[in-house]
Copies of this chain bind each other. A is one copy, B any other.
Amino acid sequence: MEAKRVVIIGAVALGPKTACRLKRLRPDFEVVMIDQDEHISYGGCGIPYFISGDISDVKELMSTSFHMERSPQFFEDAKDVRVRVKTRAESIDRRAKTVHVRDLVTGKQEDLPYDKLVLATGSQPNRLPIPGADLPEVMSVSNLSSAMAIKERIAKGEVDRAVIIGAGAIGIEMAEALSDLWGIETSIVEIAGQVLPGVLDSSLARMVQRHIEEKEVAVYLNETARDIRKSDNGEHRLQLTTSQRTLDADLVITAVGIHPHSKLAQEAGLLVSPKGGIVVNNRMQTSDQDIYAGGDCAEVMHLVTGKPAYFPQGSLANRQGRVIGTNLAGGFAVFRGIVGSFSIKIFDLAVASTGITLNAALREGFDAAHALVVQADRAHFYPTQDLMYLQLVVDRKTRRILGAQGLASNGDALVGRIDSIAAMLPYRATLDDLSNMEVAYSPPYASALDIVNAVANTAENVLDGYMTTMDVDEFEKCFLEGESDNCICLDVRGPANAAPYVAKFGERWLNIPQETLKRRLAEIPRDKRLIVVCNSGVRSYEAIRQLSCAGPCDVINLQGGVAAIKKSGLLNLSEESESEAES
């Protein structure tokens, strides 16, 4: 194939990756990359750590791992790629195969010819459609320029109090950045009934919320921001009014999602989805085969649902960029789709997920079930062990794994588990596969029967009818809030653990240690609904199996046990801490 001229619009993640891959395969190609911003090729996901101060110099986000700044000159010298910054692509003439660009400094316009064109136009933050959203103290964290502006205001001491609108990943990362290092009094306002909506189901979201609140960030759920105005009293600059309250602030950060920046594609007549994502095939070609698109401006195939999805992530942009580079060079590469993996550090807690949530699965029409396991993140006898919370979502009919989500203090340990499950999802892996998944075992790094295996086993036990389960949410409703003594707890832990609960709930909290249950079956009331409880859900399962032998009674396992109750901040009676691991 003879050398071609390739124009790339957008120079943050996908653009540079495409350019570099292409030039390595075809050094003879001419590659021009344009961007309307002055900052290019930066790690946008690092912005919260720049604002927090974990990363002191913004240049680190723009540097290679060998400490060279990825400036236009760097791309010229090291990669033989032309870069034109502060240059806006205004339209595409697909017949003439040119891009009409405007130099934002000089105002000069010209038409750049291309043989192949790559759209890497990224995303734009959703705007908040309320009065005051355009005040200068109301900002988003959509790019490096806005991040630098926010940090400058904070560093000047202009921000004592901040409100973040949106409890998604960016909102929460910003809450940590502002409050943890800078000591800014921070609140989050979220329209949904939980934090991280779409990423976690409600039980785990509740635990995350609890952690954020313990770090003294206020979280207001089910609240809509109504308007923002300049403050009268002068102590703080702004007043944000929600559907429930008024909050003072010096800074309001809006983090209410992003949408594909696909106007250019749309105007050029390329196929764009109803939600605005540029439609591409698995070689990342748009409806014009000479134009490729990827990253935050394009939609992707979701391999769990089998439907198109919008899942903007810098890491996916990098992978797609390589695929485009290979294809432009005359090779054959495909990007089959995504499984939706996600991770975030929230103060001392790591949260990660893959696939789809239980809620999403039900919405998609799957006959979905879930299981939650609380277990040590390595051998329970190894000194550095800590509890991990892992939930699995499965399809009852096919036993296919649909998703997983978890929390832990050790983020590497959690992300490793989530990544392992994610790796199986494209193969439509079943519970049986996960039950036997081989974890590289040694006590410092894994359990002999690791939590990934245990959660599959637990889900299998649910699907096979060996137990029915209850979540913390349901426990709250039917035991803590429902005062009826028709529903009682059977605590099968040792008396030392159970004592504070027995003291609090009296006859509604029955304590029979599991190892004594066999000979104390007569004490079990047959006319009540029995919520069987231990510290994690393991010994309670054992008890349920024993009770199954003793004749019919309505027994239900509290998933995650007392560990889950405590982590959610529902009941905090002091007792010795325990963990369990067997299923």
Contact = CB atoms under 8 A, between A and B. Distances in A.
A440 B353 contact: yes
Contacts of A538: 65
Contact of A457 (B313, B322, B338): B322
**A24, A63, A74, A548: residue with the most chain B Cβ atoms closer than 10 Å:** A24
Interface in A529-564: 534-536, 538-539, 541-542, 545-546, 548-549
Contacts of A433: 426
A116 interface: no
Given A43-B379, A448-B314, A419 B422 contact: no
A449 B315 contact: yes
Interface in A321-361: 322-323, 333-336, 338-345, 350, 352-354
Interface string A408-438: 0011110111111111101100001101111
Interface in A491-531: 493-494, 514-516, 518
**A68, A335, A420: residue with the most chain B Cβ atoms closer than 10 Å:** A420
Contacts of A68: 515
A316 B446 CA distance: 13
A541 B27 CA distance: 13
A254 interface: no
Contacts of A43: 379, 381, 443, 448
Given A45-B443, A55-B381, A319 B515 contact: no
A313 B449 CA distance: 11
A345 B24 contact: no
A64 interface: yes
Each complex incorporates copies of this chain amounting to 2
A542 B421 contact: no
Contacts of A548: 27
Nearest to A17: B449
A440 B415 contact: yes
Interface stretch (A103-111, A182-190, A573-581): A573-581
Nearest to A442: B343
A445 interface: yes
Contacts of A410: 412
A130 interface: no
Contacts of A380: 65
A31 B10 CA distance: 67
Contacts of A417: 416, 419
B315 A446 contact: yes
Contact of A54 (B342, B383, B446, B545): B383
Contacts of A421: 423
A395 interface: no
A579 B376 contact: no
B546 A318 contact: no
Contacts of A80: 518, 546
Contacts of A25: 466, 545
Given A24-B545, A43-B381, A450 B315 contact: yes
Contacts of A323: 436
Contacts of A457: 322
B314 A441 contact: yes
A424 B423 contact: yes
A417 B445 CA distance: 12
Contacts of A1: none
B318 A432 contact: no
A493 B438 CA distance: 40
A78 interface: yes
A194 interface: no
A164 interface: no
Contacts of A444: 343, 345, 350, 411
A101 interface: no
**A335, A341, A342, A582: residue with the most chain B Cβ atoms closer than 10 Å:** A582
Nearest to A169: B442
A345 B516 CA distance: 39
Top-6 shortest CB links A-B = A416-B416, A412-B412, A315-B441, A343-B440, A78-B515, A65-B380
21 contacts: A27-B546, A27-B549, A45-B442, A45-B443, A46-B381, A63-B381, A65-B538, A67-B578, A319-B436, A322-B435, A323-B436, A335-B436, A342-B442, A345-B442, A345-B444, A352-B445, A415-B416, A415-B445, A415-B446, A418-B440, A420-B420
